Amino acid sequence: MECFEKCKNEFINYLQVEKNAAVLTIEHYVKDLTSFFSFLERQGIHYLQDVTYQTMRVFLTELYQKQLSPRSISRQVSSIRSFYRYLEREGIVETNPVHHVTIPKAGQPVPNFFYEQELEKLFAVSDLNTPLGQRNQALLELMYATGIRVSECVGLTIPELDFDMETILVSGKGKKERYIPFGQFAHTAVKAYMNDGRPKLLKKGNHETNRLFLNAKGTPLSPRGVRYVLNQMVKDAAMTENIHPHKLRHTFATHMLNNGADLRAVQELLGHENLSSTQIYTHVTKSRLRNIYMDNHPRANHRKQP
User: Which tens digits make up the pLDDT trace of 208-243?
Assistant: 899 999 999 999 999 999 999 998 998 888 887 667
pLDDT band at residue 68, thresholds of 50, 70 and 90?
confident
pLDDT tens string 6-31: 999 999 999 988 888 888 889 999 99
Domain co-membership, 123 together with 84: no
Mark whether 246 is an active-site residue.
yes
Active site residue 211: no
Task: Measure CA 16 to chain center.
Answer: 18
Among candidate residues 75, 249, 250, 255, the one labeled active-site is 249
CB contact set of 294 (below 8 Å; sequence gap of 6+): 300, 301
pLDDT tens-place string over residues 112-154: 788 888 889 999 999 999 999 999 999 999 999 999 999 999 9
Q: How many domains does the chain have?
A: 2
Name the catalytic one among 173, 191, 211, 227.
173
Alpha carbons within 13 A on the beta-carbon side of 183: 9
34: confidence class by pLDDT, cuts 50, 70, 90: very high
Instruction: Identify which of 146, 172, 156, 148 has the alpha carbon closest to the alpha carbon of residue 213.
Output: 156
Q: What is the CATH number of the domain that holds 144?
A: 1.10.443.10
- Does the pLDDT of residue 61 top 70, yes or no? yes
Identify whether residues 205 and 69 lie together within a single domain: no
Q: How confident is the model over 254-272, as a mean pLDDT?
A: 88
Question: Which structural domain, as residue segments, surrounds residue 284?
Answer: 116-290
Active-site option among 121, 187, 200, 246: 246
Report the alpha-carbon distance of residue 173 to residue 279 in Å, rounded.
19
Catalytic annotation on 281? Answer: yes
Active site residue 178: no
Is 20 among the domain residues?
A: yes
In the annotation, is 173 catalytic? yes
In this structure, the answer to whether residues 42 and 132 fall within a common structural domain is no
Is 107 a residue whose pLDDT tops 60?
no
| Residue 249 annotated to the active site | yes
Q: Are residues 70 and 129 in the same domain?
A: no
Tell me the per-residue pLDDT of 147-189, one tens digit each, with 9 for 90 and over.
Answer: 999 999 999 999 999 999 999 999 877 778 899 999 999 999 9
- Whether residue 111 lies inside any domain: the answer is no
128 and 214: one domain?
yes
